[in-house]
Structure 1
Amino acid sequence: MSPFLAYEDKGDPGVSSRVPLVLVHGHPFDRTMWAPQLAAFSAGRRVIAPDLRGYGASPVTPGTVPLARHAQDIEELLDFLSVDSFVLAGLSMGGQIAMECYDRFGDRIRGLVLADTFPDPETPEGKRARAAMAGRLLAEGLRGYADEVLEKMVAPYADPEVKAHVHRMMTATSPEGAAASLRGRAERRDYRALLTRVSVPALVVVGADDTYTPVADAKAMHAAIPGSVLHVVEGAAHMPNLERAGEFNEVLADFLTEVDSRS
């Protein structure tokens, strides 16, 4: 039976000494968000990057798609690919999905990377805002939204090619898929207590100029997760993996080496 999600599966599955890396993109993006990481790490380990339900080349489910559904999709994909244990990395909504994954099947996760994300549940104001945005995207599409938020997703001073890539991802996203995830994300659980129970190596990364998930949020997660490492990427906003790919990859490489040594 073929998997529900579209995905990239790069690198050598036979490199048993190196733990596979699974990358979960944010909203409203797709797996090409991880292009620099797929290129950098697939030379020496297996790297898997799915398009979440409703994004990229994966099928769209209208209505509401909770974070738990995204987590279940990832679990089913990894079962299909016979990936028993792995490092899980997620950015923004992808980080919240990674937290949901840790709660659902944390025994398979050897390391956790949380980038530009936060564990708190949605506020009443936030729920109203996400519902309104879902309605707007269905009515208008994503181009106007993409134009408005591009220089919050990446810093105003970001490389023009990075800006263009991010804008392309946003405008290519299905309005129905984006709206469904917005509604589901508005109902997410509180992951703060979960973070205090994380028992695997954890890396928290954030762009210094991120206004969506500020450095203070990253510091709070770092304080909550026992033994975690915090890295603030200067000269980046909400997507340091693209804005400062070299630095992001260097920090991730060090983390993966540590996880490999423990496994």
Structure 2
Amino acid sequence: MATATVGTARVRYDVEGSGSGPALLLVHGTGSGGAVVNWGQTVPRFTAGRTVVTLDLSGADRTVDDGGPLTVEALAAQVIAVIEDAGTGPVDLLGFSMGSPVSAAVAALRPDLVHRLVLVAGWAYTEGDEYLRNLFTLWQRLGEVDPAGFGRIVTMTGFSRGFLNSIGREGVEALVPNMPPTPGTLRHVALDLSVDIRALLPRITAPTLVVGCAQDATVPVENSRELHAAIVGSSYAEIDAGHVVFFEKEDEFVGTVTGFLGADVTAADLHVLVSA
């Protein structure tokens, strides 16, 4: 484990595997569990012949800062600092959920550090989507007054009905405590409510793949389709899964990402790489 300092934040990150090509940096979504909860199961699928970097953004348990409000730009600065500190740039950058607008901001602000970009279950603008605004407001209020209720709503919206039924009651009950409404998690939720990266999207020049989740009840798939439409030359893939796609359809998720990262194409060719 290494540390990059950005302002008051001491950002913890890990480097695994090795390879001669661009490193893959994975940016986690909402939740103070950070990289371990999101990527702990999936990282080994990417490390064969490749360096993989994971980091914990402010709000995650392993990264310490002043506890103030978070912004997309501040978290993007943390990702940039980790890329520079690790000496792995330019990287293939993958952001999931909250990590998607953060990663998009990195690609827009520091195109020299991003080789390829993958945005999974992401969105560009919360205030203009009444579903997102109300869901994140509900998360915020439940997190403050009903921690058990918070765990159940994030489980219900994080996974598809079919997946929840497939793992049964015992499996579902085991998922409920996975994202407790800690102060760090609620800082992330407050950030989710304020996301607006629309002005940054036209500045993205890296070859980009947007991955939508057809049964996503946290960030409905229309948001991914809109991201794809807003990023010139981007490619789009849609997986029939809920929000946490790398748990529900791990093989398809890994295959989609590695297929894109390994393809020898230019940005102008990406629209024919992956179809919905």
TM-score, normalized by length of structure 1? Answer: 0.84
Q: State the secondary structure of the residue aligned to 1:5.
A: strand
The 10-residue stretch of structure 1 (236-245 or 26-35) with the greater mean CA deviation from structure 2? 26-35
Give the deviation of 1:258 after TM superposition: 2.1
Is 1:78–1:84's contact at 8 Å kept on the other side of the alignment?
A: yes
The letter of the residue matching 1:198 is: I
1:182 maps onto 2:182 in alignment: no
1:25 maps to which of 23, 28, 35: 28
The one-letter amino acid paired with 2:22 is: V
Report the CA distance between 1:193 and its aligned residue: 4.2
Q: Which residue of 100, 118, 122 corresponds with 1:117?
A: 122
Higher RCO (C-alpha under 8 Å, 6+ residues apart): 1
Q: Deviations over 1:114-152 (max 9, x none)?
A: 1111112424966687567445424444x3201123121
- Secondary structure of the residue aligned to 1:157 is helix
Determine whether 1:85 maps to 2:90. Answer: yes
Counterpart of 1:40 in 2: which secondary structure? Answer: helix
Distance in 2, matches of 1:188 and 1:222, equals 17
Q: Distance in 1 between matches of 2:171 and 2:39?
A: 12
The question of 1:39 aligning with 2:44 is answered yes
Whether the 8 Å contact between 1:24 and 1:89 is mirrored in structure 2 is: yes
The one of 144, 163, 170 equivalent to 2:179 is: 170
Identical aligned residues as a percent = 24
**DSSP 3-state at the match of 1:119:** coil
1:261 CA drift (Å): 9.2
Quickly say closer, same or farther: Cα 1:166–1:260, change in 2 above 3 A: farther
Residue 14 of structure 2, aligned match among 8, 13, 16: 8
* Aligned Cα root-mean-square deviation (Å): 2.9
Task: Give the 5 Å matches for 1:215-226.
Answer: 215-226=221-232
DSSP 3-state at the match of 2:60: coil
Alpha-carbon distance in structure 2 between the residues aligned to 1:26 and 1:260: 28
TM-superposed CA distance for 1:20, in Å, is 0.6
**Quick one: distance in 1 between partners of 2:106 and 2:206?**
13
Rate the CA distance shift 1:131–1:201 in 2: closer, same or farther, 3 A.
Answer: same
Distance 1:84 1:9, change over 3 A: same
Superposition deviation, residue 184 in structure 1: 3.1
In the alignment, does 2:141 pair up with 1:106?
A: no
Structure 2 unaligned residues grouped into runs of 5+: 5-9, 268-276
The alignment partner of 2:179 has SS state of helix
Q: Distance in 2 between matches of 1:71 and 1:196?
A: 17
Shift of 1:44: 1.2
Distance (Å, rounded) in 2 between the aligned partners of 1:130 and 1:151: 14
Distance of aligned partners of 1:121 and 1:134 in 2 relative to their CA distance in 1, 3 Å threshold: closer
TM-aligned CA deviation for residue 51 of structure 1: 1.8
Give the gaps of 5 or more residues in structure 1. none
What is the deviation of 1:56? 3.8
User: Which residue is equivalent to 2:64?
Assistant: 59
> What are the superposed Cα offsets for residues 170-191 of structure 1, whole Å, 9 maximum, x if unpaired?
03x6x211222223333333x2
SS at match of 1:6: strand
Which residue type is aligned with residue 45 of structure 1?
A: R
**CA-CA distance at 1:250 after TM superposition:** 0.4
The residue identity in structure 2 corresponding to 1:184 is L
Cα separation, 2, equivalents of 1:162 and 1:6: 30
